[in-house]
Amino acid sequence: MESRTDVPPGTLYMLVLTTLAQIGPLHGYGIAQHIRQTTRDVLRIEEGTLYPALQRMLIKGWVKAAWRHTENNRRARYYTLTPAGRAQLTIEIAQFERATAAIRRVIQPA
Amino acid sequence: MMELWRKVTGFLRRGQLEAELREEIQTHLAMTAADIGEDAARRRFGNVTRILEESRDAWGWPALEGGARDVRYALRMMARRIGFSAVVIATIAIGIGASGSMFSLVDAVLLRPLPYPNPKRLVSLNEARLSADQLISRVAPARLEDWQRLTRTMEAVAGWDVETFAETTGMVPEQLHVASVSPRFFAVLDTSPLLGRVFVPDEERFGGPKAIVISERLRQRRFSGAASVVGRTVRLEGRGYEIVGVMPRRFEFPDSSIDAWIATQADADLLRDRGASARFYGAIGRLNRSVTIAEARRDLDAVQRQLGSMYPTTDAGWTVRIQPLKDALVGSARDTLWLLCAAVTLLLLVACANVGCLLSAQLTSRRGELATRTALGASRAAIARQLLAEALAYSLLGGASGLLIAQATVGVMRRELAGLPRIATATVDARVVAFASLTCVAAAVVCSLAPLARIGRPDAIATVLRGGRGVVVRQPITQALVSAQLALATVLVVGATLFLRGLLALQGTPIGFEPGDVLTLRVSASFNEPPDEVVQRHQRTMDALSALPGVRSVAMSHGIPGAIAATPAEFRLADEPIDPTGAHFAERRLVTAAYFHTLGIALVSGETCRMRTDPEHEYDALVNGAFLDRYAPGRNVLDRSIIFGPQESRTPIRIVGVVENAREEGYARPVEPIVYLCGFLRWLPDSDFLIRVNGEPARLARAAREAIAAIEPGRAVYAVQPLPDILSATLSQYRLRTVLLGAFSIIALTLAAVGLWGVMAYMVSQRRREFAVRLALGAQPIAIALQIARSAGMVTMAGGGVGLLTTAAALRMSRALMAGVQISDPTAYLIGVAALLGTVVVASISPGWRAMSVDPVEILRD
């Protein structure tokens, strides 16, 4: 059985924003699926974490939501990245890279 | 910012948002199920409701919803204890109503700036005698012009004098209050007319065209608000004045009764006259930009010193008194209002303390309920929030009712206290509302603070488990609050008693004459009337009044006896050398010969004066006992001549008699040396008529009006009033202080009694079990009642003692506010103590009775 990891703390917004930036408008299930497939099942997003996060992002104005029909003709809420969300994504990535670089320096001493 | 906006709008359509969220999650579940099968999806998904709740929580609604729930709960709790809630709300309402109305009054009378541009630069000016600093005088026009010429700190100075005229264009003569003003009057007040213009220089010089500026009030009243009023003519005492302008309604100077303004048009004689008789202008000035009052005072002092060296006989020894115009206008009302303001603040504190101790006591009786909620998982913060919500609900309801009370009270005060300057503008305005709301919130916080200190302690749960038994809760905060209330109430009671006794003493003061059956009135007249005609007209009017049935005698005086403070004038006895150590001062009262008979002032020696119609002949004068005692003790004054002022020797005056002391300046002022001058009224056409009648003086009013109308159809009769009413009005400031302080202290005492009763009643309910046991074991009921009374007494004594000490200290500090009051009057303190004891008895009767009548069987079985 392959090992699974929860999303590292603080990276959920970045993962969701990146997904929306790459794929375009997507519903919650699609976001979760995409992240799981892209990370080859390593990262799994709990539904209990995803939806509260989406609500917070709506409040902050990073994403917009609209009801549309899926290709299977199901009604689903599609999230779209806003300009504010795009700007936030840059910030999140920068923060993440700074943090990763710092961690790497700790675990790989010169 | 946007985020908050989205949260708020989100809250408003939260139903829809929730439905959407639910659907979204269902869709997600269905999609998952399509992938991995229904059961597996459900297992993976966990608790749908939890996801829903957590997503919803992201919006931050729980706080809002919790708040709404707290308010709903608070209202329900209040409705359940309707009596208790009513007392709390009424207490807050009284406190805020009383303080709100009082602060509205203070705001209108004391705080609001004058309604003229740059009001801080406006000052009031007087002449003041250096040697006798109590001697403040109005300003001579000649001197005013000198000040204007020489000052370097004032933009302009101006003067005015109020006269009453009969306006005769209409069917009936109407009496008008007209201010006769110097040049620059409107410029000092810096106010443009609503219509037309103010005076041009040509209209201000002697002999120039007669022009008049009318008030907006007169335009509405007399000309029905016609826009074309400028250019029309009004007739004052038969002389035509062209209306050149209309002043806006807010322009009420020198006071709100003024109907119109005319230019004085001083002649050359008046502009030379520097003596006492020319000092008739009230004077105002406008300071230059960024000049302080102190700088202006130094400047005017120097100016007057310069004038003193130029005119040594008339100007030396005088200085200029300058004060902010607002202070001058507000006058003695300032002290009254600050005093009442302090009193009402005490009342507000009592109300807050009372609410605090009521809430605190009731909270203790709700320990069971709160402990249960704690046990069921309510956090301490949740309980605190709920209590705060309750306190806020009380405060809001109480505050709203309080504002209504204040609104009503201000209306009543505006009617009843019309004599206070500027009171007409008093309204409960935004600032007062803000003040009241602040007080409300502060009260709410204070009220929640005390209870919060005790809830959530570990013993709360224990209390419930033990069924509330055996715990006697001490209430140090509540008791302290009650003591504080009693202390504050004591201050008010003692203060009010002092004022009441002061007022009674004043009213009981022998005034030295008999005002009872005297009616007073005035007949409009102008100073343009030649003196000889004035004398004839006065005589004609007095004859007509004397002929009326029921009239015993008729006299005249300039100024109502017992109501007018006169300016003392400098004099010397003709056969005495000038006293180098200091001049003699006496009030001059100008009267007719029948004055003493009409008012019942007894002649002590000599004879009463005779009226002289020949201005060249020497005048008769009478002096009072105080004059004799101060300036000629043990010596004869009869037949001696008296000379007023350094240069006014034009009319010789001879003392023909001595009369008893009469309090000419009113109950509150001591008797000063007075010289009564007979016959001088020839220069004072608008003097007062005094009519002594058989029986009720007010009943003669109509007949007197008709009698004067028959012989003087062109004149207005006004100010028809019984003399006792006028004298009573001179005490209005004292009465106002006394009545309001009395009302405040009664309210405060009542509130304190309610507080004390609440604490006692609570204590009894807590200790019923203990009392029952003691009664069952044979204790005397009366012993238990006495114990209750003793507890009440302890709280009271603590409060009362502090209160009495505070009162003594506060009175000593505010001696200035207590004019006319004997502040160390022991009776007042005794009454304060008695009131406190009464409060204790009243407040502990019902709790004591309940303690005595505890039924042991019933309680112990319980």
Q: In this complex, do A74 and B25 lie within 8 Å of one another by their Cβ atoms?
A: no
Q: In this complex, do A29 and B28 lie within 8 Å of one another by their Cβ atoms?
A: yes
B6 contacts on A by Cβ (under 8 Å): 58-59, 61
Mutation for testing the A interface, residue in B24, B25, B35, B56 having most A CBs under 10 Å: B24
d(CA B257, CA B644): 34
Q: B420 with B109: CB under 8 angstroms? A: yes
d(CA B165, CA B258): 11
Q: In this complex, do B27 and A77 lie within 8 Å of one another by their Cβ atoms?
A: yes
> pLDDT above 90 covers what percent of chain B?
23
Instruction: Tell me: pLDDT of A85 over 60.
Output: yes
The model's confidence at residue B615, banded by pLDDT at 50, 70 and 90, is low
Strand pairing class (B619-624; B653-659): parallel
A62 contacts on B by Cβ (under 8 Å): none
According to DSSP, residue B601 is labeled: P
Task: Answer with the residue of higher pLDDT: B57 or B104.
Answer: B104
Q: In this complex, do A76 and B6 lie within 8 Å of one another by their Cβ atoms?
A: no
Mutation for testing the A interface, residue in B4, B14, B31 having most A CBs under 10 Å: B31
Residues B755-773 have a mean pLDDT of 79
d(CA A67, CA B825): 85
Specify which residues B589 forms β-bridges with: B676
> pLDDT above 70 covers what percent of chain B?
89
Strand pairing class (B568-573; B584-591): antiparallel
Instruction: Tell me: pLDDT of A5 over 90.
Output: no
Six token digits for residue B91: 């207490």
Instruction: Tell me: pLDDT of B125 over 90.
Output: yes
* Signed CA dihedral, B534, B535, B538, B544: sign only: negative
d(CA B44, CA A48): 10
B32 contacts on A by Cβ (under 8 Å): 29
Task: Answer with the residue of higher pLDDT: B743 or B768.
Answer: B743
Which of A48, A58, A59 has its CB closest to that of B54?
A48
Q: In this complex, do B3 and A60 lie within 8 Å of one another by their Cβ atoms?
A: yes
SS3 B491: helix
Q: B802 with B449: CB under 8 angstroms? A: no
pLDDT of residue A1: 39
Q: In this complex, do B27 and A60 lie within 8 Å of one another by their Cβ atoms?
A: no
B694-723 pLDDT, tens digit each: 988 888 999 999 999 999 888 888 888 899
The model's confidence at residue B132, banded by pLDDT at 50, 70 and 90, is low
Task: Answer with the residue of higher pLDDT: B362 or B559.
Answer: B559
Q: In this complex, do B21 and A51 lie within 8 Å of one another by their Cβ atoms?
A: yes
Residue in chain B lying closest to A44 (CA) = B44
Instruction: Name the pTM for this structure.
Output: 0.69
A21-78 pLDDT, tens digit each: 998 898 888 898 898 888 888 888 887 788 888 888 888 889 998 888 888 888 889 9
Q: In this complex, is the C-beta atom of A28 within 8 Å of any C-beta atom belonging to chain B?
A: yes
Six token digits for residue B398: 């109480």
CA distance, residue B37 to nearest chain A CA (Å)? 15
The model's confidence at residue B285, banded by pLDDT at 50, 70 and 90, is very high
B58 contacts on A by Cβ (under 8 Å): 52-53, 55-56, 59
d(CA B755, CA B478): 9
- Looking from the CA of B420 toward its CB, the CA atoms found within 13 Å total 26
Q: In this complex, do A47 and B28 lie within 8 Å of one another by their Cβ atoms?
A: yes
The model's confidence at residue B461, banded by pLDDT at 50, 70 and 90, is very low
Mutation for testing the B interface, residue in A12, A26, A37, A47 having most B CBs under 10 Å: A47
- Closest residue by Cα to residue B787 from B840, B851, B838, B833: B851
Instruction: Tell me: pLDDT of B71 over 60.
Output: yes
Residues B487-501 have a mean pLDDT of 86
The answer to which of B52-61, B180-189, B721-730, B766-775 has the lowest mean pLDDT is B52-61
Q: B791 with B760: CB under 8 angstroms? A: yes
B791-825 pLDDT, tens digit each: 888 888 888 888 888 888 877 766 666 666 677 77
Specify which residues B729 forms β-bridges with: none
The B-side interface with A (CB below 8 A) comprises 2-3, 6-7, 10, 20-21, 23-25, 27-28, 30-32, 34, 44-47, 50-51, 54-59
Q: B661 with B673: CB under 8 angstroms? A: no
Q: In this complex, do A75 and B55 lie within 8 Å of one another by their Cβ atoms?
A: no
Q: B787 with B770: CB under 8 angstroms? A: no
- Closest residue by Cα to residue B566 from B586, B538, B544, B548: B586
A75 contacts on B by Cβ (under 8 Å): 23, 27
Angle (CA) B325 B329 B334, round 5°: 110
A4 contacts on B by Cβ (under 8 Å): none
The model's confidence at residue B287, banded by pLDDT at 50, 70 and 90, is very high
Mutation for testing the A interface, residue in B50, B55, B59, B61 having most A CBs under 10 Å: B55
Query: What DSSP element (H or E) covers B781?
Result: helix B781-813
According to DSSP, residue B114 is labeled: P
Q: B134 with B142: CB under 8 angstroms? A: no
Q: B79 with B85: CB under 8 angstroms? A: yes
- Looking from the CA of B159 toward its CB, the CA atoms found within 13 Å total 23
pLDDT of residue B197: 94
Q: CB neighbours (10 Å) of residue B32?
A: 20
The model's confidence at residue B147, banded by pLDDT at 50, 70 and 90, is very high
* Signed CA dihedral, B322, B326, B329, B332: sign only: negative
Q: CB neighbours (10 Å) of residue B446?
A: 17
Cβ partners under 8 Å of residue B548, min gap 6 = B700, B703, B704, B707
Q: CB neighbours (10 Å) of residue B458?
A: 7
Q: In this complex, do B54 and A51 lie within 8 Å of one another by their Cβ atoms?
A: yes
- Closest residue by Cα to residue B555 from B540, B542, B536, B541: B542
- Sorted by where each begins, the domain ranges of chain B are 2-59, 81-114+333-471, 132-316, 473-509+728-862, 525-714
pLDDT of residue B739: 86
Provide the terminal-to-terminal Cα distance of chain A, rounded to the nearest Å. Answer: 35
Q: B230 with B195: CB under 8 angstroms? A: yes
CA distance, residue A68 to nearest chain B CA (Å)? 11
Q: B632 with B625: CB under 8 angstroms? A: no
| Strand residues in B608-663 grouped as ranges (E) | 619-624, 641-644, 653-659
Six token digits for residue B562: 């017992």
B10 contacts on A by Cβ (under 8 Å): 59
Q: In this complex, do A76 and B57 lie within 8 Å of one another by their Cβ atoms?
A: no
CA distance, residue A52 to nearest chain B CA (Å)? 4
SS3 B243: strand
A72 contacts on B by Cβ (under 8 Å): 34
Cβ partners under 8 Å of residue B147, min gap 6 = B125, B154, B157, B285, B300, B303, B304, B320
Six token digits for residue B594: 């029948």
Which of B2, B32, B55 has its CB closest to that of A55?
B55
d(CA B42, CA B652): 122
DSSP B366-409: THHHHHHHHHTT--HHHHHHHHHHHHHHHHHHHHHHHHHHHHHH
Domains and their CATH numbers in chain A: 5-107 (1.10.10.10)
The answer to which of A4-13, B453-462, B832-841 has the lowest mean pLDDT is B453-462
- Closest residue by Cα to residue B835 from B726, B752, B721, B770: B752
CA distance, residue A104 to nearest chain B CA (Å)? 33
B160-188 pLDDT, tens digit each: 998 878 777 776 677 788 999 999 999 99
Mean pLDDT of chain B: 82
Task: Answer with the residue of higher pLDDT: B356 or B513.
Answer: B513
Specify which residues B554 forms β-bridges with: B691
The model's confidence at residue B655, banded by pLDDT at 50, 70 and 90, is very high
pLDDT of residue B352: 80
d(CA B823, CA B812): 8
B525-554 pLDDT, tens digit each: 877 788 888 888 999 999 999 999 999 999
Six token digits for residue B231: 């250019």
d(CA B380, CA B719): 70
Strand pairing class (B619-624; B674-678): antiparallel
Residue in chain B lying closest to A69 (CA) = B27
Query: What DSSP element (H or E) covers B823?
Result: none
pLDDT of residue B447: 63
Chain A 45-74, residues with CB within 8 Å of chain B CB atoms: 47-48, 51-56, 58-61, 67, 72, 74
pLDDT of residue B470: 40
Please confirm whether the linkage preceding B673 is cis (ω < 30° from 0): no
Instruction: Tell me: pLDDT of A2 over 50.
Output: no
Instruction: Tell me: pLDDT of B597 over 80.
Output: yes
B223-258 pLDDT, tens digit each: 888 888 999 998 887 788 999 999 998 898 888 889
B816-857 pLDDT, tens digit each: 666 666 777 788 888 888 888 888 888 888 888 888 777 777
pLDDT of residue B26: 82
The model's confidence at residue B651, banded by pLDDT at 50, 70 and 90, is low
Indicate the length of chain A as a whole number: 110
B51 contacts on A by Cβ (under 8 Å): 47-48, 51-52
pLDDT of residue B448: 63
Q: In this complex, do B24 and A77 lie within 8 Å of one another by their Cβ atoms?
A: yes
